[in-house]
Homo-oligomer: A and B are copies of this chain.
Amino acid sequence: MKLLEDRIKKDGEVLDGDVLKINSFLNHQVDPQLMMQCGEEFKRLFADQKIDKVLTCEASGIAPGVMTAYVLDVPMVFARKKKPSTLNDAVYWADVFSYTKKVNNKICVEEKFLHKGENLLIIDDFVAQGEAVKGMVNIAKQAECNIVGVGAVVAKTFQGGSDWVKQHGLHFEALASIDSFKDGQVHFENEN
């Protein structure tokens, strides 16, 4: 998605350790028009699939997730990183390993919001090692849902997450695919 790639080139910050910070339009400040365009692009990319629900993860997945669900006209569920005090019902849990902090965190989804046989589109803001996606796939499988695909706003394809999704036979789409950082610059897969 050219518009997104241009925005990453313009506003993304490349930090040490192959970290890309896109706080100015995705992860802290959010550009809602761009999020809507991402939602429309996901709809186009997964147009051959019947989708009943969007599954994403708090916090940064919510903006692209809710826009995608809006254009698809389906509900969205966001996995929670801790169980809220008002969440007393049965939940599915999955571990999510944090590479930056070297610890296992957990995400959860209340069981009643995922139904057996339901067609889920998983949306994530950022797929690097893909730990959040792995956790969401785990939860979808516990619920016996059908995963129609995984959509990432941004993927760092050299860090294994997107390969893991494809190796598990899932349809993967990223709106911007970064294959390397060279001299502090982002390099996309489709660039020379």
B32 lies within 8 A of A69 (CB): yes
Q: Nearest Cβ in chain B — how far from A168, in angstroms? A: 25
Query: Looking across the interface, which residue of chain B has its beta carbon closest to that of A30?
Result: B76
Measured CA separation A27–B85 after assembly (Å): 12
Measured CA separation A124–B90 after assembly (Å): 27
Measured CA separation A178–B86 after assembly (Å): 18
Copies of chain A in the complex = 2
Q: Which A78-130 residues sit within 8 Å CB-CB of chain B?
A: 78, 80-81, 84-88, 100-101, 109-110, 113
Chain B neighbourhood of A67, CB < 8 A:
32, 66, 70
Query: Looking across the interface, which residue of chain B has its beta carbon closest to that of A72?
Result: B32
Chain B neighbourhood of A31, CB < 8 A:
75
Q: Which of A2-10, A16-24, A154-162 contacts B (4 or more CB under 8 A)?
A: A16-24
Q: Which of A55-63, A145-153, A179-187 contacts B (4 or more CB under 8 A)?
A: A55-63
Q: Report the 10 A-B pairs with minimum CB-CB distance, sorted nearest first.
A: A58-B59, A32-B70, A62-B62, A32-B69, A85-B100, A29-B113, A59-B59, A63-B66, A30-B76, A21-B86
Q: Residues of A with Cβ closer than 8 Å to B?
A: 15, 19, 21, 23-25, 27-33, 35-36, 58-59, 62-63, 66-67, 69-70, 73-78, 80-81, 84-88, 100-101, 109-110, 113
